[in-house]
Structure 1
Amino acid sequence: MTVTASDAHSAVQTLTQSSDTLFLLLGAIMVFLMHAGFAFLEVGTVRNKNQVNALVKILADFGVSAVAYFFIGYWVAYDVTFFADANTLSQGNGYELVKFFFLVTFAAAIPAIVSGGIAERARFYPIMLATFLTVALIYPLFEGMIWNGNFGLQAWFEAKYGAGFHDFAGSVVVHGVGGWIALIAVLFLGMRNGRVKAGKHTNFAPSNIPFLALGAWILSVGWFGFNVMSAQAVNGISGLVAMNSLMAMVGGILAALVAGKNDPGFIHNGPLAGLVAVCAGSDLMHPLGALFTGLVAGAMFVFVFTYLQNKTQIDDVLGVWPLHGLCGAWGGIAAGIFGSEALWGLGGVSLTVQVMGTLLGIVVAVAGAFIVYGALRLTIGLRLSEEEEYRGADLTVHRISSTSND
């Protein structure tokens, strides 16, 4: 049997498509698993009477997010719909379908982030509605601008400044947007009852440090799928991304260890702060730049979260605004600093553009959240009653507690 050049080319093309599809599928599964990390991080942080609610919210949010993104969000971001026969959709080994799976796990991270900030006093179904609107409209609006060139924003950046806004794996697009949306939601919901006594702030201790640690570990491991698999193709795999993710994670751990004075909550959030910050420039930075990025992020999280809890009316239960909002914004800017050739990076990035793009992401997130959460607060309400909050969301919403003797 004679094998022609055309046959060989076709076989190679099929193998490449299959490999890319499998590569992205593994990434989607790893990022999907990260949602278990979000769940256990919240379960371990909230009080016992809200643990069931934390678990249910994350899973329910994912289901709502998938529907919102399938019918609206993915179309807004990429001008792609799935209203075709299965034979058409499955062409190219179904790569485009797996791409949707991968990207919907990113989109669903937005409400998972918000969930940690508004825990213990939010009504269930109004928050599900907020999740739908956020994933259908707010997140994909900015996602499409950055990752699909919508509205000519990236073309304008390149023409004006010689480089587009660089966010390889979503420091700003995912984490920054999610964190700033969470801040607005937290402000609309107000402080939990009992947080201020006799004019002094009272901090509620985490209910389960092992669960909190488990959540941090799941997120940290899954993050390598979040970052490395953002290449979306086998030929885009970069050991530099993996190494930079590792170094930023380590930087976050060490900074939180020192700044947090051995506090286990801070130490287990430290690696997450570093990983949030390195997403944007993980494919550009030198490992030393990634390490410094993580160090700054870890220290920033500890100091800002401590200040919020002790000095302000912002009751961000898991500290998702400093962890995702501020560290995400720092990551967008850090890509412009440590991605430059002057600091041993690969170059092709503009600090001016990184600052502008980061600020735009914040504006989109804040404006969108004001509209969504503001409208829901005025119409159907966002918060549990004082009695419901006292009983806890587990019994109030789900009619069951996390332990049989509660």
Structure 2
Amino acid sequence: MAEGQNFRLINIDKRQTLAYLHDSSNLHLDQLLFEYDPARLVWMLAASRIPKPYQRSVEKGHSVHTHDLGALDLPFDVLENIFRQIHHEDAEDAVYLELTNSFLRDIGQKRVYNMLLTYHCPWWLERLICLGEYVRGDDLPLTAGVIKECERAVLCGEMPAEERKAEEARQFREYMACLDDEFGSRDRHFFDGWRLIDSIRKDRGRHNSRIYNCVEYTISDDAGWYTWSNKFRECGTPGLSPTEHRELQALVTPDWSWDGRPETEWVVCSWSCAEYVRVSGVTKLTGASPRGPWTDKDKHLSLGHVLLTQICWSSDASGTNLGYDGPITRGRWAGHHVAIVTVDRLLEDTVFNVKLNGRWDDVTNKVMKEVTEIWMRHDPDVLLAQVRLTDDPSDNERHANENGNDSQS
């Protein structure tokens, strides 16, 4: 294993990391960027398009009078509250209730969409940071809102020895209790518990900073997607007509489409500083075809990769193993509220246009220039030939020599 600084991806709001990144003791920044598929972050952050208002139609046999609701002929605000009382784990109930009447379809659409988001983009607009193990507890991003005042006691500074020991003891007890429940006799796995403690101690980071050790939960990036899909894969409702089946699928299927217009393009954005990067910035480097917030070459370079280059933070710039000398360990978006949305939503959704009165900065060129420099040093074959020729002096010289030889012949 090459020497280098370990990095840890953290959702500050939920104290989470991703399961496929859980073995953080072995993950250097070059591995996170080039081996562990950051495109999977798109699943965690991309909010599907907001459904268009449901169009009720008499020609389609939709209700004309609210008394068709029978016992549910209630004021619309009461009906909205009924939908709000349906919990996420009972999302099927909300969907089937919508299908019973066009009035309910119109009212319940927003609630079902919000349920869908909790499964399909669970980290949407939350604070993300990729922390290096050399980070000091007093060296955190200065952007307002990265660390809330009420969080300073648990996220800032370094963990004293007695606190580390207490935390190790707690984790040891919980781990052993779990093994006892599963395997019985403690003697058989007591060594496993001490091996856990050894792993925790090695994984504390150079300065035992609180924020580097704040992760409490490890989640799977695709668990929500599978859970939502399985809810509706077998509907168990043979009485639905083909039209109703189509309506059901329209209700529960995320819309990540793009019509090709710049004003509706998918972007990764920082809500904290009102900046965004377009997916076309990726496709211009790789020649890939856009597929909503993804491309057909996401394994090599995606909006997830771009985001990761902007949220890294450490007190020491050494040990990234990237061969890149730029300030990647002082990421411009480190700890920011981030999301993947469309440009039109940035300008129209009240969640976003409260920032700077709706004035967002397109930093695609600036950020993708940095991304190009990193990929040129580590994985240039991903980039289009003309991109490599523009950015690599040796390629320019070789290209000039080839042209000279061609002219002589």
Normalised by the length of structure 2, the TM-score is 0.25
Higher helix share: 1
Q: Which has the higher strand share?
A: 2
Q: TM-score, structure 1 length as denominator?
A: 0.25
